Amino acid sequence: MQSPATERGSQRYAKCIEVSKRIHWEIDRDVIRGRTFDFTKKFLPDGISKVNELEFLSEDERRFLSQVQGRTYANMFGLVERFIGAKMLEVTQQYWFGDQTKLEALVRFSDEELKHQELFRRIERMTAAEMPVGYAFLPQPNDVAAVVLGKSTWAVLALTCHIELFTQAHYRQSIDTDARVSDLYKDVFLHHWREESQHAILDELEWRREDANLSQAQRESAVDDLIDLVAAVDMLLQMQAASDTDYFLRNGGRGFDGHETARLRAGVLKAYRWQYIVSGVQDPRYLGILGDLLTTEQAARIGSALEPIVRQFDAARASWPATRPAVAVRAAAAPDDA
Ligand SMILES: [Fe+2]
Ligand SMILES: [Fe+2]
């Protein structure tokens, strides 16, 4: 017989299955619906692309830069969902001959990630057909997956949970009523968010389960892995931001002086750091989980690694110290709990 805690855990997986079935969507029938991208519209809202911070760009230039970023957004998700799907399939192994509800929830999760990869490949093809030649998405999904999956499961689940939570933050940013943003791209955010909501719940459950199996020494090493992964993501963002800025400069239709070029390079990197790191690590749910799992020293180590990245975002800087009291309470209570 299952313990009450195990049963409660199982119910949460069952709820994810139920919602996943209810909100299921198809790429052509529900998202694309015979449409093409309207290139008179932005692809990403300003809150995500940060193009509104580049005041020297004309409205047309901001729109084009948003479209370049939107194309990279699709490619980035196609990339991360490769390793997320593979890790989830690996995690299912523990349930093959055990809890079939948990197995089904994670199999559905993996299946949805395959569909999302296909959706993002479609977006790449649709945008490539209309945009000037010369765009390059540099990271290779399988190479990145090999590096990520070489790290501990705890760290990969920590990175994955962060990604699936920022997907939800991006959806919330996309639902503003800015008529200058592509309706088709808004639908991509909407449909992706619907399935990612369940994924974020399952990530957290699996991450906490994995955490409960680790010794303090293993968790220490897993925190190092997570720091390595964040550094690897940031390196990849620097590479792609440079490539996308070069593409924008080649196709922007006018020259930019040295100061403007430097602002553009910094602005695109800032946007990518916001999209793929900061909007996740400042999420209150994410901070709450880290607060539960980490000691004060481990949280401080991650905080120091993030400092150079979050430095330019005031809100994110403010949210990191806010987790410390929760972490400190856990650390202080630990001897009594043991
Ligand atoms: Fe996804
Ligand atoms: Fe997902």
pTM score of the predicted model: 0.91
pLDDT at 312: 84
Give the CA distances from residue 194 to residues 54, 143, 172, 275, 318, in Å, rounded to whole numbers and listed in that order.
32, 28, 11, 18, 29
Position 60 pLDDT exceeds 60: yes
**Residues 117-145, mean pLDDT to the nearest whole number:** 96
Taking 60 as the threshold, does the pLDDT of residue 318 lie above it? no
Cα 85 to Cα 196: distance, rounded to the nearest angstrom = 12
Q: What is the pLDDT of residue 338?
A: 26
- Residues 6 or more apart whose Cβ sits within 8 Å of residue 66: 42, 43, 44, 46, 49, 51
Residue 329: band (very low, low, confident or very high) from pLDDT cuts 50, 70, 90 = very low
pLDDT in tens, 258-296: 999 999 999 999 999 999 999 999 899 999 999 999 999
What is the rounded average pLDDT for all residues in the chain? 90
pLDDT at 36 over 50: yes
Looking at the CA of 114, name the nearest ligand. Answer: 1
Better-predicted residue by pLDDT, 172 or 192:
192
What pLDDT does 179 receive? 77
Q: Taking residues 318-322, what's their average pLDDT?
A: 53
Alpha carbon of 329 to ligand 2 centroid (Å): 32
Centre of ligand 1 to C-alpha 292, Å, is: 26
- Please state the rounded mean pLDDT for residues 139-156: 95
Contact 292, 257 (CB under 8 A): no
When pLDDT is averaged across residues 75-84 and rounded to a whole number, the result is: 95
pLDDT score recorded for residue 112: 97
Q: What is the pLDDT of residue 325?
A: 40
Digit-coded pLDDT (tens) for 213-223: 999 999 999 99
Query: Which residue, among 173, 158, 202, has the nearest Cα to 279 in the 3D structure?
Result: 173
**Start-to-end C-alpha separation, the chain:** 26
Ligand 1 centre distance from Cα of residue 106 (Å): 13
| Model confidence at 331: pLDDT above 70 | no
Whole-number pLDDT of residue 317? 59
Residue 4's contacts (CB-CB under 8 Å, 6 or more residues apart) are none
Distance (Å) from CA 288 to ligand 1 centroid: 22
Query: 41: alpha, beta or left, given left = phi > 0 and alpha = psi -120 to 50?
Result: beta
Tell me what pLDDT residue 34 has: 96
Nearest-angstrom CA–CA distance, 237 and 117:
19
pLDDT band per the 50, 70, 90 thresholds, residue 143: very high
What's the pLDDT score for residue 7? 65
Tell me, in angstroms, the distance from the centre of ligand 1 to residue 330's CA: 32
Q: How far is the CA of 124 from the centre of ligand 2 (A)?
A: 19
pLDDT surpasses 60 at 334 = no
> What's the pLDDT score for residue 178?
74
Nearest to 181 by CA among 51, 282, 285, 276: 51
Q: What's the average model confidence in pLDDT over 172-178?
A: 74
Residue in 137, 176, 157 with CA at minimum distance from that of residue 293: 157
Please say if the pLDDT value at position 72 is more than 90: yes
Distance 112 CA to ligand 1 centre (A): 7
Nearest to 65 by CA among 42, 87, 83: 42
Least confident of 5-9, 65-69, 219-223, 241-245: 5-9
Shortest-distance ligand to the CA of residue 118? 1
Selection from 227, 243, 268, 197 nearest residue 20 by Cα: 197
Instruction: Print the SS3 string covering the chain.
Output: CCCHHHHHHHHHHHHHHHHHHHHCCCHHHHHHCCCCCCCCCECCCHHHHCHHHCCCCCHHHHHHHHHHHHHHHHHHHHHHHHHHHHHHHHHHHHHCCCCHHHHHHHHHHHHHHHHHHHHHHHHHHHHHCCCCCCCCCCCCHHHHHHHHHCCCHHHHHHHHHHHHHHHHHHHHHHCCCCCCECHHHHHHHHHHHHHHHHHHHHHHHHHHHHHHCCCHHHHHHHHHHHHHHHHHHHHHHHHHHHHHHHHHHHHCCCCCCHHHHHHHHHHHHHHHHHHHHHHHHCCHHHHHHHHHHCCHHHHHHHHHHHHHHHCCCHHHHHHHHHHHHHHHHHHHHHHHHC
* CA 182/CA 214 separation, integer angstroms: 45
Q: How close is the Cα of 59 to the center of ligand 2, in Å?
A: 33
pLDDT band at 2 (very low <50, low <70, confident <90, very high): low
For residue 174, name the pLDDT band (cuts at 50, 70, 90): confident
* Six-digit token string for 9: 């855990």
Closest ligand to residue 160's CA: 2
Contacts of 163 (CB under 8 A, 6+ apart): 80, 84, 276, 280
Calculate mean pLDDT across residues 108-118: 96
Give the model's confidence band at 172: pLDDT under 50 very low, under 70 low, under 90 confident, else very high.
confident
